Structure 1
Amino acid sequence: MSDNIYQETMLHEPPEGDGLDRPAITPLKKGVTSEADAAAGQWTLIWHKFAKDKLAIFAGIVILCLYLIGIFAEFLAPNLAQSARPQYSYAPPQTISFFVRDENGDRTFLPHVKGYSVTIDQASLRRFFVVDDSKVVPIGFFVHGPEYRMWGLFPSNLHLVGPKKANDPFYILGADKLGRDLFSRVIYGTRVSMSIGLIGVCISLVLGVVMGALSGYYGGWVDLLIQRIIEIISAMPTIPLWLGLAAAIPVSLAPLKVYFLITLIVSLLGWTSLAREVRGRFFALRGEDFVTAARLDGSGERRIIFRHILPSLTSHILAVVTLALPTMIVAETALSFLGVGLKPPVVSWGVLLQDAQNIRTISTAPWLLVWPALAVVIAVLSFNFLGDGLRDAADPYDG
């Protein structure tokens, strides 16, 4: 009976002027916490916090779309990357329209682009393409076009979008000096540029985590040696070092080997910042109680490093890696643009920019520079926004 009276008095506000000194009870606001949130694990809490950042979510969707474009490049591209048609050299971009007017003036739904007419400049004797409204090129989805091998394995000629007649011109982003479709080449370049960043970050992740963990856990001469190596690499000017290493690659090597060598070069120079991050966190955690308990329990040093300390850094490492990806993409683009990275017939965003660096392109075909550069900007900004969102979500001290 007395217990019920005590609970009832604690749940109700005491009347004014009763003379009793009771602690004030402030009810929790609705939605502040719940039993599910209180019992949620680390990753669940990170996801709940990350989901509130709409810009990071949108950036993640853009990155996912870019990787899907790279994976299914053959199917998504209307033409092959090396399919040249010199008669359409420097053809301007075409605009997609959805309706045509018949002889009676009625509008009919027909997705199409306009064809070209050629004019000759009498002063320079150069030919120029002009969009001809009288020429209609019907386009459609899931059309049959140039044959390809999906991922080098499955032969097919089905394309997501393209002209219904295979020989009709279809250049929605314009054509280059050899009459190759820039839209298709940007799609193929997405595969190389996005994958070289991913592979490079994976290699840098292994090097950075291992070297940083050893440096932070052992300290002493191990830390001194690793930090001096990091300082030497960090003190070197990045662009000249890339140029020197890339110039050492033999010209006779196959494009695929050059691709992996460029990836290796970019990775060997990109692990230092992650190693410093991991080292600092190991310094902070190696004296914690759970590490001491694992050591007293008989756990070996390798188990303590990789099974006890490192998993607590997973969210932080994920955020750092996401921010490192755009650096890898820019590095490959810069090397290829300078002519010492990937070279044709490999297609990447950097190779496309390198092909477009001439006076005629700037004056008469600026789209050859705009679209590959725009693809690089979109990818880099998306990774930066996603990385910022992950870093904020993984920070336990940010409310």
Structure 2
Amino acid sequence: MLSWPRPLSRNGTKTAEPAGALAPEAVPPGEAGSDPELGRASQWRLIWRKFRRHRLALIGAVVVLFVYLVVVFAEFLAPSVSSTSDEDLTYAPPQQVHVDFSFSHGIDLYVYGYETRRDPETFEQIHTVDTSEKIPLRLFARGDDYDMWGLIPTDRHLFGPVDQDQHVYFLGADRAGRDLLSRIVYGARVSLSIGLIGVAVSFLLGLFFGGISGYFGGAADTGIQRLIEFLMAVPTLPLWLSLSAAVPPDWGPLMRYFAITTILSVIGWTGLARVVRGRFLSLREDDFVIAARLDGCSRRRIIFRHMVPSMSSHVIASLSMAVPSMILGETAMSFLGLGLQSPAVSWGVLLQDAQNVRTIETAPWLMLPGLAVFITVLAMNFVGDGLRDSADPYK
């Protein structure tokens, strides 16, 4: 057995070396002075260690976490129910929140009311700020009744007017006098849940077909790859048109929701399947897979117990990049009238009101759902980039 020579002391004699001490040459280059437990760290800890150094990915993760918290508590965070409307306040502009620092009353929040008049020529309602009317605001205000998660009946909202009979429009109103902020919050639940459900279905399809293609090869690999190439060669918009035309027009919002999710899943599994196939091709000849095969392990155990866990980080990175594509797909389909329709509320449905140039000129705040889509998709792309870089063993 090889042994490392002990260092010499000043008088030339060999000094005693503690048992189990590691020679200086055994420390990997560039790791001197690093975490002593780094060599025993798990794969997920190493990924997290690299992910923390990606500043944009961390910022994106915070934004994504915030958006999904809004999705979970949408009814409580929205100032009103998405269907609440006031015909006298159509296309009302956003109201600015003011702060009153009066020492006699403490700190009060309020917004100014509207003064509405009708143009004598166009008969269009014109809303101006009425500084003589103050609408006081408060936290945990009473408002429209709703069922939290469909289970808990309540009327408490995080922020709203003191008088529950009054309406406030922090981001303006749409053509029916409905609060745009509340509709954006409710629309986030539909758009983001479609992204998660669609990616989950795509994950199962991609893992199944990609695993078969990469592990078995041969005729199965050739057939699956030709199918993937055919689906990827078809232009996306005509494929959406043909699949959406197959959806019966008399279906309700819930049935159309599942139909759109299925359409996006059928289209979106091909990219993940190629990623899984490439990983299976590189792993099936590795030593640990060959050792498991020689040990008598079944194919099912080799795939799900040995190969899939070793590529889980790469799959998660690919899934995080696929969620924004699902969200954009639903938004585009609903915007073009191929997806969800009113009374369903999603970001794509809300953007249908912004198709008219004249409407955008008179009510530019109707473009705010597009800003929500932009921020969410950009944050998810940052997170996906961070996960992909962190899962790469060669970086």
What does residue 60 of structure 2 align with? 59
Question: Under a length normalisation based on structure 1, what TM-score does the superposition of the two structures give?
Answer: 0.91
Q: How many Å apart are 1:10 and its aligned residue?
A: 12
- Higher mean displacement: 150-159 or 116-125: 116-125
The 2-side partners of 1:261 and 1:315 are apart by 30
SS at match of 2:139: strand
The 2-side partners of 1:231 and 1:4 are apart by 61
Q: How many Å apart are 1:4 and its aligned residue?
A: 11
1:68-124 alpha-carbon deviations (Å, 9 max, x no partner):
11111111111111111101111000011112679xxx9962111111111333332
1:339 to 2:337 alignment: yes
Structure 1 gaps of 5+ residues are: 13-22
SS at match of 1:158: strand
Paired residues of 1:197 and 1:328 also in contact (CA < 8 A) = yes
SS at match of 2:136: strand
The 2-side partners of 1:221 and 1:355 are apart by 50
1:11–1:50 Cα change, 3 Å: farther
1:358–1:292 Cα change, 3 Å: same
Stretches of 4+ aligned residues off by more than 3 angstroms:
3-7, 9-12, 23-32
State how 1:173-184 maps to structure 2 within 5 Å: 173-184=171-182
1:391 to 2:392 alignment: no
State how 1:190-269 maps to structure 2 within 5 Å: 190-269=188-267
Question: Which amino acid in structure 1 is aligned with residue 63 of structure 2?
Answer: V
The 1-side partners of 2:343 and 2:318 are apart by 33
The 1-side partners of 2:374 and 2:9 are apart by 64
The 1-side partners of 2:29 and 2:236 are apart by 54
The 2-side partners of 1:275 and 1:186 are apart by 33
What does residue 380 of structure 1 align with? 377
What does residue 310 of structure 1 align with? 308
- Higher mean displacement: 150-159 or 350-359: 350-359
1:32-77 alpha-carbon deviations (Å, 9 max, x no partner):
4232111101111111110111211111111111111111111111
1:5–1:100 Cα change, 3 Å: closer
State how 1:346-357 maps to structure 2 within 5 Å: 346-357=344-355
The 2-side partners of 1:292 and 1:29 are apart by 33
The 1-side partners of 2:248 and 2:26 are apart by 77
Q: How many Å apart are 1:150 and its aligned residue?
A: 1.1
Q: How many Å apart are 1:133 and its aligned residue?
A: 1.6
1:5–1:39 Cα change, 3 Å: closer
What does residue 77 of structure 2 align with? 76
SS at match of 1:135: strand
The 1-side partners of 2:276 and 2:29 are apart by 38
The 2-side partners of 1:311 and 1:29 are apart by 29
Q: How many Å apart are 1:31 and its aligned residue?
A: 6.6
Paired residues of 1:115 and 1:169 also in contact (CA < 8 A) = no
The 2-side partners of 1:296 and 1:27 are apart by 32
Question: Which amino acid in structure 2 is aligned with residue 334 of structure 1?
Answer: A
What does residue 19 of structure 1 align with? none
The 2-side partners of 1:26 and 1:304 are apart by 33
Paired residues of 1:120 and 1:128 also in contact (CA < 8 A) = yes
**Among residues 144, 147, 152, which one is paired with 1:146 in the alignment?**
144
1:163–1:5 Cα change, 3 Å: closer
Question: Which amino acid in structure 2 is aligned with residue 320 of structure 1?
Answer: S
1:307-361 alpha-carbon deviations (Å, 9 max, x no partner):
1111110000000000000000000000000011001111000000013322442
SS at match of 1:271: helix
SS at match of 1:316: helix
The 2-side partners of 1:114 and 1:168 are apart by 12
Paired residues of 1:186 and 1:348 also in contact (CA < 8 A) = yes
SS at match of 2:339: coil
Q: How many Å apart are 1:243 and its aligned residue?
A: 1.7
1:291 to 2:289 alignment: yes
Q: What count of residue pairs does the alignment treat as equivalent?
A: 382
**Among residues 185, 188, 197, which one is paired with 1:187 in the alignment?**
185
1:4–1:66 Cα change, 3 Å: closer
What does residue 20 of structure 1 align with? none
The 1-side partners of 2:157 and 2:253 are apart by 26
The 1-side partners of 2:326 and 2:12 are apart by 60
Question: Which amino acid in structure 1 is aligned with residue 157 of structure 2?
Answer: H
The 1-side partners of 2:323 and 2:184 are apart by 19
SS at match of 1:8: coil
SS at match of 1:137: strand
1:77–1:134 Cα change, 3 Å: same
1:277-310 alpha-carbon deviations (Å, 9 max, x no partner):
1111111111111111101100111111111111
The 2-side partners of 1:290 and 1:395 are apart by 20
The 2-side partners of 1:275 and 1:76 are apart by 38
